Structure 1
Amino acid sequence: MCREEHQPDPRGADQAVFAALLEDSAEELYESAPCGYLSTLMDGTIAKINATLLGWLGRERAAVVGRMRFSDLLTVGGRLYHETHFAPLLRMQGEISGIALEIRRADGGRIPVLVSSVVKHGSTGEPLLIRTTVFDARDRRAYEEELLRGRKVAEEARRQAEADRARLQDALAVLQQALLPDALPPIPGVETAAYYHTASPDRLGGDFYDVFPIDGKRFGFFLGDVCGKGPRAAAVTSLTRYTLRAAALHDPDPVSALTTLNKVLHERYAGEGDPRFCTVVFGVLEPDATTGQTAVHLASGGHPPALVLRADGTAGFLPTPGGLLVGILPAAPFATATTVLTAGDTLVLYTDGLTEARTGEGRARLYGDEALLSFVTDHAGERPPDVIHALTDLLRGFGDGLDDDTALLALGVPAPGTETKHTI
């Protein structure tokens, strides 16, 4: 009778491996997790952070815990979004998930991430801290960019195949209109009017303007021109409008608003080797119901100077020399100016499509600043809608000499007893 040979039990090896896995402590699992973890106080101060996230950031724990807030880890644009959207929604809902942001490494690099947060409450319901998970989205971003490039190629091929120019113009008109305000808001004691001329129905323009309330007493306004045309210029226009509005609600100082926009544009596009920039005039109106006057504070980043048309029939430029294009450098100087509008006065802003229109024999001469000043002086004392109407007729008179988009914005104090209008 043969003795049965002893065979090893494979299940014993599997159980040993499984038991070894269970030997990992909770702290070890937290620190070495494949995603970032951090816990913050309700004001955002970081109280705990795992080694994974510290490695992504390239920072030491001692330099982060108790010394930085969660928003400090984000890019400038991310901090704006965190303050205006992420944090308010988290406080209201108690949790928020899958938000795309970018964290900033210690060496200045950026990492796209997906962020989810939940508020931990105490036994009596009071909020105690915020727990946040951070997932590395670099592979996803690369995939999305590749997918987007593929979609653009396919869309271009479809457009060429269809050769449906009329349909394309309709689509572009809708997109262009989406980049402009539907209506100008009513401002006590101030009358407004605006006009936008699209040079070509076949491409999106880069000019923009807006008027919006800041608080119960002040109103913001801006007008500018993005470098370039087409969808990429439209993307910059959309980012610029959103950033200026958000920045003004945080700090309405015109220089502060342009400084924030400069940081956002430079950080967003300079690192891609394809810098995007614009010229902008940003201002704040402060109507005074007692005096009937409106104070104007503005700053300019490389934009043509505003015009002030007075009730006495005079007009002149409001100089803002030295302001640099927005988005070119990490830090840029911006020129400031102030004025006061009284009854019958109007402030006019415009983009350079107006002054660079070609006139004369053979369209060889630019219209220019002096011709514009002479033209508006003839309309000084008129109401903003009438001034814009006159400028619109001027633009039409250029014919094919007007080959650039042009935005116009007029803000004025009407004469006593006059009903204010707000027209586009």
Structure 2
Amino acid sequence: MRRPNGAGPSSSGERPEDEQAQVSALLEDSVEDLYEHAPCGYLSTLLNGRIAKVNTTLLNWLGYRRQDLVDRKYFSDLLTVGGRLYHETHFAPILQMHGEISGIALEMSTADRTRLPVLVTSTVKTGSDGQPLLIRTTIFDARDRRAYETELLRARREADRERDRLQALATTLQRTLLPPVLPNVPGLEVAAHYHVASVDEVGGDFYDLFPLAADIWGLFLGDVCGKGAAAAAVTSLARYTLRATAVYDHDPASVLSSLNSVLNQENHGSEPRFCSVIFGLLNSAPDYGGFCITLASGGHPPALLIGADGTTDFLPTPGGQLIGILPDPHIATTTVHLAPGDTLLLYTDGLTEAHTSTTGSKERYGDDALLDFARTLAPTNASAAISALRDLLDTFGSGVDDDTAVLAIHAPFSSPTQARDCP
């Protein structure tokens, strides 16, 4: 019959009572050894802080002999100047009040005056009568942790610097894609605003207003698909193509057709290059009062006409298709008379597609809400309209998840000429 596991004499032939004695001796030795050579420092002090007992681990860390510390030094003597100040003003009062304090980061001063970062936990030992007898302190070496935190802080600072650099680069690049200032157009008041949804990425919205000939001006406002460097490249290409084409061809539909040909040839499948854009031609019309404006739209939200008489509505440019996708897209056109007191408002869909709530709602602002808002402004001028729209965008907060460009053109009451429809 086999013995159960662990039963019977040991394989060495020792008697059970001898084996038990050895185990007891080992346990008794290990208790003292655990204290002296624990992976942390142990320190016992009197209530006034004078050191009464210290283990070998802490002595080795600090480079002291036992007789250098016991009954000779106080716990605060082992701290750096800053550590002593914190001990006197925070550590000791909290320990006295609550009887314990844990996980406090301090720096101890070694025998050779180097700094040892540590984490300190102290408890007050009381007697059977509840009276405090001494203070027991456990000290953990925090050099590796401090090195990790220092490296983490260095990496974070480096990341912050890199982010600031990228933000500055994005901001600079964004500025190169927009006119630094809008030109002074005789007989018109113009204003614009660009709302940045993210400072980390370059947006794809763009606008411009520029002279073409005597009393003839070109304008455009568009939105490129995507963000970042790829979108910036398309924005730059679209902006300069529109300006260059308009110099030789004043027909807005033809200008957009030329842009479509350029973008269509640049499409590379995985990096689609297309945009929505509205291009306009402004002609001074002194015989009619104000300006005649011809607009061509390639898949862009319709412009708003805010009348001097308070009427406000979208201009009809239905069916216009995005520029750059199809070889021969449909481009919608319309002509409008910008009479004295009227304001023309162009915008990108970052405005109408903004979330109206920052609490996670998927509800969009929408065209109807924008039309109602514009009607509350009528009649208005360019600067007032842009200011109101800027405030509106600010109310959406983080709900604006796409860049938004707005451009307003206003014909002031400066001409007594009878206003008539443009031919």
Matched residue, 1:349: 346
Matched residue, 2:337: 340
Matched residue, 1:293: 290
**Distance between the aligned counterparts of 1:227 and 1:220, measured in 2?**
23
SS of the aligned residue for 2:286 comes to coil
Q: CA deviation at 1:162?
A: 7.7
Instruction: Give the counterpart letter for 2:181 in structure 1.
Output: A
Q: CA deviation at 1:342?
A: 0.8
**Distance between the aligned counterparts of 1:376 and 1:356, measured in 2?**
16
Hey, which bits of structure 1, 4+ residues long, moved more than 4 A?
159-163
TM-score w.r.t. the length of structure 2 is 0.59
Query: Are the counterparts in 1 of residues 340 and 415 from structure 2 also a CA contact under 8 Å?
Result: no
Q: How does 1:314-333 map to 2 (within 5 A)?
A: 314-333=311-330
Matched residue, 2:171: 173
Matched, 1:282 2:282: no
Q: Per the alignment, do residues 294 and 163 of structure 1 end up closer, same or farther by CA in structure 2, a change over 3 Å counting?
A: same
Aligned residues: 259
Query: Are the counterparts in 1 of residues 306 and 374 from structure 2 also a CA contact under 8 Å?
Result: yes
**Distance between the aligned counterparts of 1:179 and 1:322, measured in 2?**
28
Q: CA deviation at 1:333?
A: 1.2
Q: Per the alignment, do residues 365 and 177 of structure 1 end up closer, same or farther by CA in structure 2, a change over 3 Å counting?
A: same
Instruction: Give the counterpart letter for 1:318 in structure 2.
Output: L
Percent identity between the two aligned chains: 55
Question: Which has more radius of gyration?
Answer: 2
Matched, 1:266 2:259: no
Matched residue, 1:111: none
Query: Are the counterparts in 2 of residues 226 and 237 from structure 1 also a CA contact under 8 Å?
Result: yes
SS of the aligned residue for 1:338 comes to strand
**Distance between the aligned counterparts of 1:358 and 1:382, measured in 2?**
26
Query: Are the counterparts in 1 of residues 220 and 277 from structure 2 also a CA contact under 8 Å?
Result: yes
TM-score w.r.t. the length of structure 1 is 0.59
Matched residue, 1:389: 387
Q: CA deviation at 1:314?
A: 1.4
Matched residue, 2:232: 234
Kindly provide the CA deviation profile for residues 48-99 of structure 1, in whole angstroms up to 9, marking residues without a partner as x. xxxxxxxxxxxxxxxxxxxxxxxxxxxxxxxxxxxxxxxxxxxxxxxxxxxx
SS of the aligned residue for 2:210 comes to strand
Query: Are the counterparts in 2 of residues 190 and 287 from structure 1 also a CA contact under 8 Å?
Result: no
Query: Are the counterparts in 1 of residues 304 and 314 from structure 2 also a CA contact under 8 Å?
Result: yes
Within the candidate set 204, 207, 213, 1:206 is matched to 204
Matched residue, 1:312: 309
**Distance between the aligned counterparts of 1:201 and 1:349, measured in 2?**
23
Query: Are the counterparts in 2 of residues 189 and 292 from structure 1 also a CA contact under 8 Å?
Result: no
Matched residue, 1:375: 373
Q: CA deviation at 1:260?
A: 0.1
Instruction: Give the counterpart letter for 1:220 in structure 2.
Output: G
Q: CA deviation at 1:311?
A: 0.6
Matched residue, 1:218: 216
**Distance between the aligned counterparts of 2:318 and 2:158, measured in 1?**
45
Query: Are the counterparts in 2 of residues 189 and 289 from structure 1 also a CA contact under 8 Å?
Result: no
Matched, 1:252 2:253: no
**Distance between the aligned counterparts of 1:313 and 1:186, measured in 2?**
26
**Distance between the aligned counterparts of 2:158 and 2:407, measured in 1?**
37
**Distance between the aligned counterparts of 1:269 and 1:160, measured in 2?**
37
Q: CA deviation at 1:354?
A: 0.2
Q: CA deviation at 1:273?
A: 5.2
Query: Are the counterparts in 1 of residues 303 and 344 from structure 2 also a CA contact under 8 Å?
Result: yes
Q: Per the alignment, do residues 273 and 169 of structure 1 end up closer, same or farther by CA in structure 2, a change over 3 Å counting?
A: closer
Kindly provide the CA deviation profile for residues 245-274 of structure 1, in whole angstroms up to 9, marking residues without a partner as x. 01101101010000000000011224x653
Kindly provide the CA deviation profile for residues 285-334 of structure 1, in whole angstroms up to 9, marking residues without a partner as x. 11123443210101000000000000111100002111110000111110
SS of the aligned residue for 2:280 comes to strand
**Distance between the aligned counterparts of 1:402 and 1:269, measured in 2?**
28
Kindly provide the CA deviation profile for residues 343-369 of structure 1, in whole angstroms up to 9, marking residues without a partner as x. 110000000000001114643310000
Matched residue, 2:190: 192
Instruction: Give the counterpart letter for 1:325 in structure 2.
Output: L
Matched residue, 1:415: 413
**Distance between the aligned counterparts of 1:219 and 1:393, measured in 2?**
29
Matched residue, 2:45: none
Instruction: Give the counterpart letter for 1:365 in structure 2.
Output: E
Gaps of 5+ in 1: 1-158, 419-424
**Distance between the aligned counterparts of 1:287 and 1:375, measured in 2?**
29
Q: Per the alignment, do residues 160 and 261 of structure 1 end up closer, same or farther by CA in structure 2, a change over 3 Å counting?
A: farther
Instruction: Give the counterpart letter for 1:231 in structure 2.
Output: A
Query: Are the counterparts in 2 of residues 199 and 404 from structure 1 also a CA contact under 8 Å?
Result: yes
Instruction: Give the counterpart letter for 1:311 in structure 2.
Output: A
Q: How does 1:5-84 map to 2 (within 5 A)?
A: none
Instruction: Give the counterpart letter for 1:278 in structure 2.
Output: C
Gaps of 5+ in 2: 1-156, 417-423
SS of the aligned residue for 1:337 comes to strand
SS of the aligned residue for 1:248 comes to helix
